[in-house]
A and B are shown apart, each in its own frame.
Chain A
């Protein structure tokens, strides 16, 4: 099945596009959309590792995002550290939580597992909203004005954009490496059927835990990036279920289990979201979420493999037409 464009060319074009975007569309608002897009792409790509490749559909990934979001502001509020110093700590905690959650829940299959992830995320959200140390329902704030470059409170969106882009690059590179290695093979085998995988000698439990831990670490980084840009966190914006759902939709829309699927999904969904907000937002009707819901049902019903899979089917025909013409 020949792709439409040689993959190398496509990737180079994509990378160039992403690098040049904030320089071409240099208005702060457009750059902000770019930053939001990158954040969504990072989160969705992180989720993709365990949800897309391994087929373990977690609907509670906000628990990792939330940890990544709270810890930097916590170290700032408690000890005056620059928020980025909290990122490694957040990653460690997220990995710890992943193992803690994974050990018992990975015994459950399919829907059970998803339900468990929802419940745990909700539990954490409610708990955090009652815990005074982390600001309870009121939340935490970041540095209002920069004490130095390390506080990362920039006036312009540009530094945020490139930092986030670099992180996205790391996540995608890691995923690409996994794809080619044995680990990736294990993940795909697990997705195709756990029992069969086990009989093939795949260390199922260990692999799933590793995938979840890696996914959790990256998701936590996404949370940290979010909070560094926004400067504020509270239980809802950290652990809310819509955060988990958004990661899921974006990855599924583009194609869960593919390298660039989440990125494509974000590329479509984020501008769409901003547009519906600008067009209808003032009217107050929540059309954005109705749209989300409709898109998800549509993907589930007609194109579970996401746009990538759809493209794989349509591209050869397009190619034929072009060559025939």
Chain B
């Protein structure tokens, strides 16, 4: 009697086990994500990777507290039967040839349905060419070079703003300032001399010309410079009203410290993201850089807001606040997931079509864009950026006035007085 009941119990358990086994409703969606995880940009790559991991969490698990962010409320992709996102991260080391090879591997070996990446424009160039060849959609999370989307490629989409967007934003800002009676007689452009700094610097120079704002001096320099005092002295000599920095972290800090020790403070310093947004920037220079401006399409926002909650998720994972660059990657990823969901399939062609028809509204975004809608080169034409300013130990949104949470300080005060 005992044995039979044991047997029955065992069978019963087995039956429940089988019944309870999650019915594999659909295949998971495979996404290949390429970042520099070693080399000069390793820190940025790691931060972006963490941001994408948070995005995966948002999509794969139910997060009803995140408002209108697409796919947050549900677990998995509803139109694919709750299929989850399965992300493979690879490290291209900042080498375009490795990026090319890894893209090939991800597509042919790992059989990814879509790709995303790659931070350095040089790597994005080669990887997107591979994706195009195989007909795999590629979401450019954050690469500034203009001609990534102007090669006539059909499978490449970019949600983030690009160099010309930033340049035009700055010019609009200067125009506003002039209207308020502030003096902008000339500007200086100080850019690190790899493709990032050069392309943004070029764009700003071109837009400044169109807006009739003279560029007093353009200073390209190597980001790894040990000493920049000669450059600061050059600036001191030219006395521009606004200095725009397109710099990475160490050099941004170095410039500010050198300017302090050489007792030089222009009316305004405007940093083009990157170094100025790095977590180590504010702690390193906040006593001498009060009033420094920066651009960001990302703002943490008020406590309790959706963006603040997303920031908390990121902070729980990495111990730091979400920075603009990683946030843009995250937004690109979410837009990609949204398109896959709308496609209702893992078929690359359908995903591509869905991407092309993307029309996300501002309240569905974590970034401050005016929306996500791609033109036929794959560039988001509604990408935009705010301008923020260092007040105390945090950046505050100060422009445009419609979105501002704090008053713009002009000229910058420099030291915390």
Contact = CB atoms under 8 A, between A and B. Distances in A.
Direct contact of A and B (CB under 8 A): yes
Interface of A: 27-29, 32-33, 36, 129-130, 136-139, 141, 144-145, 155, 157, 226, 230-232, 234, 236-237, 274, 277-278, 281-286, 288
A27 B109 contact: yes
Nearest to A126: B222
A153 to B, nearest CB: 9
Interface of B: 37-39, 42, 45-46, 88-91, 93, 95-98, 100-102, 104-105, 107-109, 121-122, 125-126, 129, 132-133, 145, 147, 151-153, 193-195, 197-199, 220
Contacts of A33: 101
Contact of A29 (B93, B104, B145): B104
A234 B122 contact: yes
Contact of A144 (B45, B129, B195): B129
Contacts of B198: 136-138
A139 B122 contact: yes
A232 B37 contact: no
Contact of B195 (A139, A145, A226, A284): A139
A96 B192 CA distance: 32
A284 B125 contact: no
Contacts of A155: 133
A232 B125 contact: yes
Nearest to A286: B38
Contacts of A145: 152
Contacts of A138: 121, 145, 195, 198-199
- Chain B binding surface, main DSSP class: helix
A307 to B, nearest CB: 25
Contacts of B145: 138
Nearest to A154: B133
B217 to A, nearest CB: 16
A36 B97 contact: yes
A231 B126 contact: yes
A35 B413 CA distance: 57
A278 to B, nearest CB: 8
Contacts of B193: 129-130, 136-137
Contacts of B132: 144
A33 B38 CA distance: 21
A141 B101 contact: no
B194 A137 contact: yes
Contact of A32 (B39, B88, B104, B220): B104
A141 B147 contact: yes
Contacts of A137: 193-195, 197-198
Given A27-B109, A285-B38, A286-B39, A36 B101 contact: yes
A284 B101 CA distance: 17
Given A137-B193, A137-B198, A230 B96 contact: yes
Contacts of A282: 37, 88-91
B125 A141 contact: yes
Contacts of B97: 36, 226, 230, 237
B324 to A, nearest CB: 21
